[in-house]
Amino acid sequence: MRLRKLLRVVLFLVLAAFAGAGTADAEGLRNIASVTLASYFDGSYRLESVDAFLARLSPAFTLLVRLSRNDTPGYWQHVFTLGPVVNFSDNIYTELSYGLGIDSAGEITHEAEANFNFETEATWAGAGLRVVFFPASDYFYFLPSVSGKFRPVPALGLFGKAFISIDSDTVVTNSFWGEADYAFSSRIRANAGFTLSRADAFGYSLLAGLKISFTPQVSLQYTLQYLSDTVTYLAAPQPRSGISNGLVLDWKF
């Protein structure tokens, strides 16, 4: 009964969100779909599928609806996320969202996230906070972050993001993500980067990718990542080693 009630609530929220999105003009709609498969060296895996739909309802307000699923051996989790993106000016905006999750054991997860951003043509800076709570085990963790991106020339982008996680067991982990991207043309952009992390041991990852813009509205990006004790976040922050392959399809319509 608990699961059925939860599914009814999620269905109602989805229908209400898309009913509201129907008032958006055609140029304010966007869908971002991604699939990431991480194959770990211990023989396990993680498959993450995400579909995010954004509808600009007014110049200052955009609605976000996101559905995600995570699969690992013997476990799955669905998360439904809903929230607004609010533009305070041409350069300042915030993203707020709440996510309701259900896993293969029937346990519920609550997720809340807030991101504050400042953006110009050449620079971008942001600060965010994500909170995840598991009521069944009374476990939670906080994930604050700061990030920025700078374009010294239009074709080159330099990005950095620092994370720290603190959980209810007072376990602290740290991560940093650095990346550079370069546009060879208006249709092809390559990226390369790394992550550094610390949990029980030092970890890192190396990544490289390619983004192809078929039209100004449609693009596809592929990313290959090597993981070495890299901190990942699902039921709890944990270091993993393996190979990750990811695809992102971005469609504006």
The pLDDT value recorded for residue 9 is 47
| pLDDT for res 1 | 44
DSSP class per residue in 49-88:
EEEEEEEEEETTEEEEEEEEEEEETTEEEEEEEEEEEEES
Q: Give the CA-trace dihedral at 66, 71, 72, 78, to 10 degrees.
A: 60
pTM for the structure as a whole: 0.85
pLDDT number for residue 20: 46
Domain ranges of the chain: 2-252
Q: What is the pLDDT of residues 70-106, one digit of tens each?
A: 999 999 999 999 999 999 999 999 999 999 999 999 9
Q: What is the pLDDT of residue 235?
A: 64
The string of pLDDT tens digits covering residues 177-193 is 999 999 999 999 999 99
CATH of 2-252, one of 3.40.1390.20, 2.40.160.60, 3.40.920.10, 3.40.50.2000: 2.40.160.60
